[in-house]
Chain A
């Protein structure tokens, strides 16, 4: 086997990986020629519009589309009964219908779909569809859901309007609290917010009379859309082709199969004409699937030196009207508390409520920014109580690299200490913390995130990512992969990695991605999985091609195959580099001897260590780490918080494309800053539960005038599971921003804002309370009693456990994760 340059060789051996490279699609994007979904059109194309429910919770008594169908230009109208098969991203919550079947569950829930010759006619037709509703009492938020098990929004779920209840215990936390010097409890709330991609979702469907359906869509997960279309439309998957067009931003908001995708497909089948839909901005707010509003309670015991003895964490999520990724989101609010600092005993109780609002789901950081906010503010308070500098507190008792946590997560490389040191030194922390004038402050926070979920959304034993490689006799190489370009640079990752292994330039590589007819499955652009999983698959495919070519080039070069090296578009003898041939000639030798040169590669993560029910959420091939210092200015007269500067250090394992890593980190800081200061999905609290602000003007997000300066440190602690050591960088750096800002506000003016966004009103109220001698704080005051199930008890690794439940999980050991579950 030719192993001249192994993927795991040190950075000096790398020619392409790690450089700051232009993305392979950058030129098309700056020219404006990249085709997004709404840029596509086909001859005879019809336009689709959706009628949406004006009620948050209502039974649909009758729908009459007769008048709409009679409108000239209307070609078809669909209602719920035309698409009766349910779907949903998780096998455990197949609770959506493309068009509401019997009930509408939020204002904006799609009820009917029209195809017409123009958008104007389709819109006019919506007014002609008569829907008789029987309004039901709406459930407005998670607390309302706890208090009102009836009327039930869904006829499934763990208890009344509580969709999911989780109770996990890893060791005896009460014994841990008893052994602590200080035990502290805190309550925090993280408001919901949304992705707000600049591109509204759009989809175009085309049906061929030979029984083939093609859907172009702005989706992060073409493979899951493929499955949903096949299921709901009752088509053989082989007759369905899904092409994910380049996404104009996504951030998790385009990772569910959506009603509009199914409706245009069905309309195309009915009319025999292509059908397109482009959502309005208001409709994008109704699609949502964004950050779950989350109420949290955390109790931690610590020794005087800061060592944690036990932690108990509770979360209650406001899930909105459907399941979406919510079961996974709920587990994620309890999964990663253990991967930064050593927690010897850990208990997690999590609940998700159904409410009559647009469904929540995965937004950048999926379920982990909320608990990380809670934890890092809580740690700031503990450090103060112990009289330890928060930076010193966080440098102590870090999870060791290559170790197991109490909840059986396997940590690999762990560069958090280096990250903390970088931001402490860079920000001048020691000269600033508790030393700045009143109104100015600094705060510090840490975080960690998964590099890809260890398990697929639906249970199967197949690879998570596949790559095919074709080497042309002209020297061209094409890489085929199902991964979806959402702006993060996934096409470039494929090109860079293949170029690295085959000694080519990334721009020599043609990339074909995200087309279910042409590309092998990649599960999708979510959970920060793409670089690691497609990267490893690409390495395998490229190494197989390299080995094949080397075997057939070696006789010509009169060198042993072990010495055959690929670099600079040449194939040569490492011992005498002048003895070589072009890459194209080498491919020709291989093709002449062995036939068409094509290889495949794939990647499947190793099984997680935990074997208990719920162990499927949290395991990852590698964990990224971040540390952040925020500098804030607080105006005590108005409560307005400004953030002039943030220092961030992120352990990315190894950069594949350094420029793209910088972009992901800066973009994460930006989005975290928006969540910290202003972004919120707000609803009118009256009986209508109407979205208060479904527009870009009213949903506040940072402009150039609010965005802070960012100083970025890239820490590279290569992980053995990552391609060339790479870990994620697209989500993790968001996590420490909200708590760092909250901690900085406390340093600036001495009030605790235990709730994001940290709006002027909240700061102002806390300052008034401080003046009046009340608790100088704004935040939640209680956590409701919930009907928790008996805990699943799992002994931590250091208590002799084997990763299985010791009690409470009887008969459940095989159902190790949420996606393996059964429908009720």
Chain B
């Protein structure tokens, strides 16, 4: 017998939603399967890789370890909620410009973790960025373009006119 469905209401990407789902489901499953928001990815569903990171009340959480039922009345932000209308968020813009998204699979999680970091700390040092992103695995980039993209976006969010460096795009001379 299938479980009777549970129904909750919460704020998703700034809008109120109601959703009914089998009560054993994780937030990851509710987002992907019951709300059709497949931008949130999964790499292990065991809380090991960070790929399913979303923001819960502004803080990064592993959506594979959060029960959907635990989100009643709370604020959830996914990658689908980052862009402002048809404009990319500065983090998305910087990730795209620098090639910080290669295969793109871990990208939503990195964007959200970085978004939470920059909300708390608009001028993070390289070490603070590394610490904040240390729970997210990426196998393509070696993380370097990701650091550079977070730094570029941070500068732009602070209102600075920042551009990628020549070394970043073409290498050292």
A interface list, Cβ under 8 A from B? 20, 22-23, 25-36, 38-39, 195-200, 246-251, 280-281, 426, 486-489, 655, 658-663, 665-671, 695-697, 701, 703-705, 707, 710-714
Contacts of B134 in A (CB 8 A): 703-705
Whether the Cβ atoms of B101 and A249 lie closer than 8 Å is no
Instruction: Point out the residues of chain B lying under 8 angstroms from A713, CB to CB.
Output: 171-173
B140 at the binding interface (Cβ < 8 Å)? yes
* Distance in angstroms between the alpha carbons of A39 and B111 in the assembled complex: 19
Interface residues of B (CB under 8 A from A): 32, 38-46, 48-49, 51, 78-80, 82-83, 88, 91-93, 95-99, 101-108, 111, 129-131, 133-145, 147, 164, 168-173
When A30-B111, A32-B108, A711-B172 are in contact, do A197 and B142 touch as well, CB less than 8 Å? no
Inside 8 A of A488's CB, which chain B residues have their CB? 102
Question: In the complex, which residues of chain A have a beta carbon less than 8 angstroms from the beta carbon of B164?
Answer: 20
Return B105 CB to nearest CB of chain A, in Å: 3
**A198 near B79 (CB under 8 angstroms)?**
no
Residues of A within 8 A of B38 (CB): 32, 35-36, 38-39
Query: Is the contact region of chain B dominated by helix, strand, or loop, or is it mixed?
Result: loop
Do A22 and B97 have beta carbons less than 8 Å apart?
yes
Name which residue of chain B comes closest to A666, CB basis: B142
B103 and A712 contacting across the interface, CB-CB below 8 Å = no
A705 neighbours in B (Cβ, 8 Å): 130-131, 134
Do B103 and A198 touch (CB < 8 A)? yes
Q: Nearest residue in B to A492 (C-beta to C-beta)? A: B99
Min CB gap B69→A, angstroms: 17
Known: A667-B140, A704-B143. A33 touches B169 (CB 8 A): no
**Which of A25, A27, A655 is the most central at the interface, judged by chain B CB atoms within 10 Å of its CB?**
A27
- Given A487-B140, A703-B137, A663 contacting B145 (CB threshold 8 A): yes
With A26-B96, A251-B139, A667-B142: A32-B171 Cβ-Cβ less than 8 Å: no
Residues of B within 8 A of A23 (CB): 96, 99
CB <8 Å contact, B103 and A710: no
A32 interface neighbour in B43, B80, B98, B170, Cβ under 8 Å:
B80
CB pair B41–A36 under 8 Å, yes or no, is yes
Cα–Cα, bound, A487→B45 (Å): 22
- A198 in contact with B99 (CB, 8 Å): no
Q: Which residues of A contact B92 (CB under 8 A)?
A: 27, 30-31
Residue among A26, A249, A250 facing the most chain B CB atoms (10 A cut-off): A26
- 3 A-B pairs with least C-beta separation: A32-B39, A487-B103, A248-B105
| A696/B102 contact (C-beta < 8 A), A30-B96, A658-B170 known | no
- With a cutoff of 8 Å between Cβ atoms, the chain A residues found around residue B83 in the complex are 31
A282 to chain B, nearest CB (A): 9
- Cβ–Cβ contact B102 & A667, under 8 A: yes
Which chain B residue has the least Cβ–Cβ distance from A672? Answer: B142
Beta-carbon contact of A196 and B139 below 8 Å: yes
Q: How far is the CA of A461 from the CA of B78 in the complex (A)?
A: 49
Q: CA separation between A660 and B111, bound complex, in Å?
A: 19
Contact B130 A696 (CB under 8 A): no
* Cβ-closest chain A residue relative to B108: A32
Given contacts A30-B92, A248-B104, A487-B140, contact A662 B99 (CB under 8 A): yes
Known interface pairs A280-B45, A486-B103; A666-B51 also in contact (CB < 8 Å): no
B111 CB contacts on chain A under 8 angstroms: 30
Show 17 A/B contacts (Cβ-Cβ < 8 Å), sorted by A. A30-B88, A33-B39, A36-B38, A197-B105, A197-B139, A248-B104, A248-B106, A281-B45, A487-B104, A489-B99, A662-B170, A666-B141, A670-B143, A671-B142, A695-B44, A695-B48, A712-B171
Asked if residues A710 and B144 are in contact (CB atoms below 8 Å), the reply is: yes
* Chain A positions within 8 Å of B169 at CB level: 20, 658-659, 662
Residue with the highest number of chain A CB atoms closer than 10 Å, among B51, B78, B138, B140: B140
User: A25 to B45, Cβ gap below 8 A?
Assistant: no
A27-B133 Cα distance, complex, nearest whole Å = 21
Question: In the complex the two chains form, what is the Cα distance from A669 to B144 in whole Å?
Answer: 11
| Residues of chain B lying within 8 A (CB to CB) of residue A248 | 41, 103-106
What is the CB-to-nearest-CB distance from A37 to chain B, in angstroms, rounded to a whole number?
Answer: 11
Q: How far is the CB of A159 from chain B (nearest CB, A)?
A: 37
* Cβ contacts under 8 Å, A28 to chain B: 104
| B107 with A669: CB separation less than 8 A | no
B103 close to A26 (CB less than 8 A):
no
Compute how far the CA of A426 lies from the CA of B96 in the bound complex, rounded to whole angstroms.
Answer: 29
In the complex, residue of chain B having the shortest beta-carbon distance to the beta carbon of A25: B104
CB-contact partner of B141 in A20, A26, A281, A670, under 8 A: A670
B162 to chain A minimum Cβ distance, whole angstroms, is 16
Contact A696 B79 (CB under 8 A): no
Contact B139 A666 (CB under 8 A): no
Residue in A closest to B112 when the chains form the complex, CB atoms: A32
B51, B129, B142: which contacts A710 (Cβ < 8 A)? B142
Question: Which has the most chain B C-beta neighbours within 10 Å: A31, A34, A195, A249?
Answer: A31
Residues of B with C-beta under 8 A to A660: 99
CB within 8 Å for A707 and B144 given contacts A662-B170, A667-B102, A697-B46:
yes
- Give the distance to chain B from A491, nearest Cβ to Cβ, in Å: 12
Contact A32 B99 (CB under 8 A): no
In-complex Cβ contact of B101 among A26, A200, A250, A697 (8 A): A26
Min Cβ gap B116→A in Å is 15
Q: Do residues A32 and B78 form an inter-chain contact, with CB atoms below 8 A?
A: yes
Residues in B with CB closer than 8 Å to A32 are 38-40, 78-80, 107-108
Q: Which of B46, B99, B133 contacts A26 (CB 8 A)?
A: B99
Closest chain-B Cβ to A778's Cβ sits at a distance in Å of 27
B residues near A704, Cβ cutoff 8 Å: 129-131, 133-134, 136, 143, 147
Q: How far apart are the CA atoms of A34 and B104 in the complex, in Å?
A: 8
Nearest-CB distance from B89 to chain A (Å)?
A: 8
CB distance A27 to B48 under 8 Å? Answer: no
Name the A residues within 8 Å of B144 (CB-CB): 666, 707, 710
Q: Closest residue of chain B to A199, judged by CB? A: B105
B102 contacts across to A, CB distance below 8 A: 249, 487-489, 663, 667
Query: With A and B bound together, what is the CA distance between A249 and B111 in angstroms?
Result: 18
**What B residues does A195 contact at CB under 8 A?**
139
Nearest A-chain residue to B164, judged by Cβ:
A20
Name the A residues within 8 Å of B48 (CB-CB): 281, 695-697
CB A668 to nearest CB in B, in angstroms, measures: 8
Residues B142 and A199 in contact, CB atoms below 8 Å apart = no
Could you tell me the distance in whole angstroms from the C-beta of B64 to the nearest C-beta in chain A? 11
CB distance from A426 to the nearest CB of B (A): 7
Q: Which residues of A contact B39 (CB under 8 A)?
A: 31-33
Contact partner of B170 (CB less than 8 A), chosen from A35, A697, A711, A714, is A714
Task: Give the CA-CA distance A35 to B44 in the complex, in Å.
Answer: 18
B139 to chain A, nearest CB (A): 5
Q: How far is the CA of A665 from the CA of B130 in the complex (A)?
A: 20
- In the bound assembly, the distance between CA atoms of A659 and B101 in angstroms comes to 11
Residues of the A chain whose Cβ atoms lie less than 8 Å from the Cβ of B129: 704
Cα A131 to Cα B20 in complex, Å, equals 39
Q: Do B143 and A198 touch (CB < 8 A)?
A: no
- Closest A residue to B37 by beta carbon equals A32
User: Which B-chain residue is minimally distant from A712 (CB atoms)?
Assistant: B171
Q: How far is the CB of B6 from chain A (nearest CB, A)?
A: 16
Closest B residue to A31 using CB positions:
B83
A247 to B78, CA, bound (A): 21
Structural contact, A199 and B41, CB atoms closer than 8 A: yes
A29 with B101: CB separation less than 8 A: yes
Pair A666/B46 contact, Cβ less than 8 Å: no
- Complex: A276 Cα to B73 Cα, angstroms: 33
A704 to B141, CA, bound (A): 11
How close is A489's CB to chain B, nearest CB, in angstroms? 8
Bound-complex Cα distance A666 to B83 (A): 28
Known: A20-B170, A30-B91, A703-B134. 9 other contacts (CB 8 A): A20-B169, A26-B97, A26-B101, A249-B140, A489-B99, A655-B170, A663-B141, A695-B48, A704-B143
Q: Which residues of B contact A659 (CB under 8 A)?
A: 98-99, 169
A30 to B90, CA, bound (A): 11
* Closest residue of A by beta carbon distance from B103: A487
A489 to B129, CA, bound (A): 26
Report if A249-B49 is in contact (Cβ < 8 Å); known contacts: A32-B79, A659-B169, A703-B134: no
